[in-house]
Amino acid sequence: MMKLDNYEELLGTLLEKLAETNQTQTAATSEPRRIPVGISNRHIHLSQKDVEKLFGYDYQITKLKDLSQPGQFACKETVMICGPKGAIEKVRILGPVRKQTQVEILQSDSFKLGVKAPLRLSGDLTGAGSITLIGPKGSAEIIEGVIVAKRHIHMLPNEAIQFGVHDGESVTIELPGERGGSLANVIIRAVENSGLECHIDTEEANALGLTPNTEIVIKKNNR
């Protein structure tokens, strides 16, 4: 029959082991989840009306390759964008078509073209800049449609719950590497049919030494 003092000793050892296991599991689950980076160059989202102005009646844009966001794709077609001071050739069109044409450029492009391009989230086009698009069959004047895209993170609503954030929230992210650091004012876009990815344009990515293989973490909420 086991002596009482031996029983208490064994029980104490068992409780210590359980505590160590719980601490290890907690540490493992507390590791911040990493989010892949998507680096975005200048591009265009066209309405079907403007597709036909640029490429001809009843023209359908042609898929070149799928993008990371479900249902979105790069097209074979490119056009020239023109402003009062200059032009940029072979700007890629992304599909599918949208209700309103949107031209996303880099900050330095706005100086080269001589156009106004406010810093906006995709779809926020009220008061956005104007520009002319030139295609093989014609041109299209875009009155409100030019923006520089705000950095943002795409995720599903259930992923937002896991990260402790919500749609529209502004967060700070931590970037690795010798030129890395922290970036504030990164907007959460938590909607259905999203692929987990942080979108940063090529200018910011180059300044921070980021590549398509880079992964970031949400450091803290801007509260």
Q: State pLDDT tens for residues 34-76.
A: 999 999 999 999 999 999 999 999 999 999 999 999 999 999 9
CA dihedral 169, 172, 174, 178 (to 10 degrees): 130
Residue scoring higher pLDDT (212 or 52)? 52
pLDDT at 24: 45
Of 115, 116, 219, nearest in space to 171 by CA: 219
Provide the whole-model pTM: 0.82
Cα separation of 143 and 203, whole Å? 25
pLDDT at 136: 98
How many other CB atoms sit within 10 Å of the CB of residue 222? 11
28 pLDDT above the threshold of 60: no
For the chain, the C-alpha Rg in angstroms (whole number) is 25
Of 120, 138, 127, nearest in space to 46 by CA: 138
pLDDT at 221: 58
How many other CB atoms sit within 10 Å of the CB of residue 139? 14
26 pLDDT above the threshold of 50: no
| Distances from the Cα of 125 to the Cα of 33, 54, 80, 103, angstroms | 33, 21, 20, 10
CA angle 164, 187, 77 (to 5 degrees): 130
Q: What's the pLDDT tens digit per position in 128-163?
A: 999 999 999 999 999 999 999 999 999 999 999 999
- Overall residue count recorded for the chain in this entry: 223
Cα separation of 215 and 37, whole Å? 6
Q: What's the pLDDT tens digit per position in 81-139?
A: 999 999 999 999 999 999 999 999 999 999 999 999 999 999 999 999 999 999 999 99
- Where residue 220 falls among pLDDT bands split at 50, 70, 90? low
